[in-house]
Amino acid sequence: MTARTPGEAVIWNRTIPRSRLFDALSLILPTGESFVIATIEEWQRGAGGCASDALHAEVSRLIREERAHQRAHDRYNAALIKATPGAAPAAERAKRVTDEIAKCSLTMRLALVVAFEHLTIVLSREILAHPDLLPDDDSAHSRMWRWHAREEIAHGHVAADVAAHHGIGRARNSLALGLAATFLSLDVLRCWWALCRCDLRSGFSGWRLARDTGAFLVQGLPSFVRMTAGVLGHRPLKASFPGA
């Protein structure tokens, strides 16, 4: 395999399977962030003076930070699609799924926002606390993901506060978490495989891909177990602000 093989060029996280996992996440994040922003903004317009000033301020911060994340991942994805054109259809499929979810009622969408934010926080804590998934090597990719993770954790309570203000109960939150985990898992796997297929077509060794994937599953098992426990142990948060 020559040095120009795209499969070699995209190895920024030790191996192709590891790199492509985060590439796949990046492909679906902008549309997910659009969903979060649109849903929270709709709630904020309707909440009026019923919510506390503190909650409104935190909501505005969440929206501002989510837009910054979206811009960063749009740049990331533009470079990714330029290097790997097969990434574009995968991103489009993720957008179609999100468009379907956006047809739900505001109450269900808010519950899904809480669920998606919780899943993002679980991943963010794993990224920052352990090197199994993403090394802290001061690369541009690592810095971007760690910046994103820190901000997600910092504003992670806001969606739960909004849901509490809206009166969303435990049952709906649990249902939304199950749906969100299913949607996210399937989308990431689809995007990951689409990217890996591009690498295989460009000349990357199928045997090496299988070997590296197996090694990743074994080495990343502690991370996957911790994240699964974090998802299954989720309890809806109580409002952080008086009068929220």
What is the Cα–Cα distance from 99 to 183, expressed in whole angstroms? 12
pLDDT of the residue at 233: 80
CA distances, 221 to each of 4, 154, 216 (Å):
32, 26, 8
pLDDT of the residue at 9: 46
Biggest CA–CA distance in the chain, Å, is 63
CA distances, 65 to each of 37, 61, 100, 143 (Å):
10, 6, 24, 16
Q: CB burial class (10 A; 0-12, 13-18, 19+) of residue 78?
A: exposed
What is the Cα–Cα distance from 163 to 172, expressed in whole angstroms? 10
pLDDT of the residue at 234: 64
Q: CB burial class (10 A; 0-12, 13-18, 19+) of residue 25?
A: buried
Q: 83 near 9, Cβ under 8 Å? A: yes
Q: For the chain (length 244 residues), average pLDDT per consecutive 10?
A: 41 93 95 96 84 92 97 94 88 88 95 96 95 88 95 95 92 94 92 94 94 96 94 61 43
Q: Rounded to the nearest 5°, which phi and psi values hold at 205?
A: -70, 125
Euclidean distance between the first and final Cα of the chain, in Å?
A: 59
What is the Cα–Cα distance from 198 to 200, expressed in whole angstroms? 5
Q: 235 near 115, Cβ under 8 Å? A: no
Tens-place pLDDT, residues 174-186: 999 999 999 999 9
What is the Cα–Cα distance from 104 to 99, expressed in whole angstroms? 10
pLDDT of the residue at 139: 87
What is the Cα–Cα distance from 101 to 146, expressed in whole angstroms? 28
Question: What sign does the CA torsion over 188, 85, 210, 215 have?
Answer: negative
Tens-place pLDDT, residues 127-166: 999 988 998 888 899 999 999 999 999 999 999 999 999 9
Q: 136 near 194, Cβ under 8 Å? A: no
pLDDT of the residue at 65: 97
Single out the residue of 112, 117, 101 nearest to residue 63, CA to CA: 117
pLDDT of the residue at 47: 74
pLDDT of the residue at 90: 86
Q: CB burial class (10 A; 0-12, 13-18, 19+) of residue 183?
A: buried
